[in-house]
Amino acid sequence: MNITASVDELNFIAEQLSREIDEVSLVGDGISYFLIASNNEYGVEIYKEGDVVIIDSSLNDESLGEKEFTDVSVAIQSALAWLLNGAAI
């Protein structure tokens, strides 16, 4: 996958999340980038693997597991539902 495309997509996701969530950061360097977002005790790490968006949700910094999405908009909505309401991803 083109690294620039992946970073651009993660930046797009970050922009969408930051409309509702204050703590959103793009981290990484070289070929490895991912997003971290949190709201109170709820958190997510979001990264791309090919055409798939992967969300690893957490509660009080404890990972709850990963879920894969092929639709970016569904991934964004799922992340927001978790971060804002604790709705299962």
- What is the rounded average pLDDT for all residues in the chain? 93
The domain in which residue 80 lies consists of 3-85
Output the CA torsion sign for 87, 26, 71, 30.
negative
CA 31 to chain centre: 17
- 33-54, pLDDT tens digit by residue? 999 999 999 999 999 998 999 9
Is the confidence at residue 25, as pLDDT, over 60? yes
**Confidence category of residue 13, pLDDT binned at 50, 70, 90:** very high
Q: Identify the helix (H) or strand (E) that includes residue 73.
A: helix 72-85
Is the model more confident about 5 or about 50? 50
| C-alpha to C-alpha distances, 58 to 20, 50, 62, nearest whole angstrom | 18, 23, 5
Average confidence (pLDDT) over 68-82: 97
For residue 31, give every residue at least 6 positions away whose Cβ sits within 8 Å of its Cβ, in sequence order, or none: 3
Average confidence (pLDDT) over 67-86: 97
Number of domains in the chain: 1
